[in-house]
Amino acid sequence: MMTLSRTVLALAFGLLSISPVVLAGQTMSPRDMHWDAGADPCPAVVKTPLEVQAYDAHTYILREDLCSTWEAPFMYLLVGDKEALLIDTGDVADPKLMPLAQTVLGLLPAKGSTRLPLLVVHSHTHLDHRAGDPQFQGLPGVMVVAAQLPSVKSFFGFKDWPQGVAQVDLGGRVVDVLPAPGHNVAHVVYYDRNTAILFSGDFLLPGRLLVDDYAAYVASAARVAAFVKDRPVSYVLGGHIEKDKDGALFDWQSTVHPGEHPLPLGKEDVLALPAALTKFNGFYTETGGFMIMNPMHNLEVMAAGVLLVLGILGYLLYRLVRRLKRRPRNLS
């Protein structure tokens, strides 16, 4: 059982909403976890900027509150015997507004007179998953791997990116790391062998699947599906929730999520993703419960539409001016 002092420390370090004490060997399903629904308008001061819930005694799910950032990203802390792993650092840099580093360090078990070493990694380079990095940089016993592709390839030892699978051994807990570019050039997903959880970042989540490089996304989906095909997958946990329980998308940049969809997806979603991507029209496609879109293509279409309208208006104005010039003058 988690000690009382450790629970108190976790509460004191983050002004948190944290799940009940977890007994050894017990887990709390992420499907049963409920997160703050946010508000509109948001209060001037967010009382609970960071929520923490325990999946088990060695695995924590953290989320930044919707009123601290409409992105409301999820982060994951995996604790091994020799080292702990933090996946992503969220969207808020200021530790006064988002006490992420304090909270994470407070959750780490003591190892003698010091805490367990911490390795900070990322799902991908987008700012809402790495803005909190400065809170960890320079701290004793903490290593931060930069989210940019050269650092990712170098640290994990990928020689033929995006091929291959790397491993991180936390001590009694091995995590597999798979390249999954497509949403972002440096995207990776993590598979925890102990819990059989696939941490999918923005590659796969209950919300918009944003395509940056379609060919890379298709190839990544096929590789990840092949990886999990013969492996157990208890849950697929992504970087955000953007749907309600009925599968409808919340408004973009909404700070309130009533009736939010559960965080987890399943192995069947990973296996279905490659086929869904083949039906993508390049702009926006809803198929099999997936909502796939390419924001840049959509912006380009919108820009082209605006230019077309402006061109038509310009042509009509030109015709009007010419007609006025040709009109006979009233001579008296």
Residue 332 domain boundaries = 295-332
What are phi and psi for residue 68, nearest 5 degrees? -90, -35
Residues 6+ away with beta carbon under 8 Å from 325: none
pLDDT of residue 310: 63
Please tell me whether residues 62 and 74 are part of one structural domain: yes
Residues 232 and 317 in one domain: no
Do 160 and 305 have their domain in common?
no
Neighbours of 8 (CB within 10 A): 11
Work out the mean pLDDT of the chain and round it to a whole number: 89
Looking up residue 258, the CATH number of its domain turns out to be: 3.60.15.10
Q: How many structural domains does the chain have? A: 2
Same domain? For 185 and 210 the reply is: yes
User: 202 with 223, same domain?
Assistant: yes
Does one domain contain both 283 and 300? no
6 vs 331, higher pLDDT: 331
Whether 256 and 310 share a structural domain: no
More confident residue, 20 or 222: 222
Residue with tokens 């230019």: 307
pTM: 0.85
Compute the Cα dihedral for 241, 244, 247, 248 and give only its sign: negative
- 21 and 113 together in one domain: yes
Q: Are 90 and 77 in contact (CB under 8 A)?
A: no
Residue 106 to residues 100, 119, 277: CA-CA distances in angstroms? 10, 15, 41
Condensed to tens digits (0 to 9), the pLDDT of residues 152-183 reads: 999 999 999 999 999 999 999 999 999 999 99
Position 32 pLDDT exceeds 70: yes
3-state SS of 72-90? CCEEEEEECCCCEEEECCC
Q: What is the pLDDT of residue 112?
A: 78
Give, rounded to a whole angstrom, the gap between the first and last alpha carbons of the chain.
Answer: 104
Residue 1: predicted pLDDT: 35
164 lies in the same domain as 216: yes
CA distance 156 to 161: 11
Q: What is the mean pLDDT of residues 309-315?
A: 64
Q: Are residues 114 and 74 in the same domain?
A: yes
| H or E segment to which residue 143 belongs | strand 142-144
Do 177 and 190 touch, CB atoms closer than 8 A?
Answer: yes
Q: Are residues 223 and 329 in the same domain?
A: no
Kindly indicate the confidence band of residue 302, based on its pLDDT and cuts at 50, 70 and 90: low
Provide the pLDDT confidence category of residue 21 given band limits of 50, 70 and 90. very low
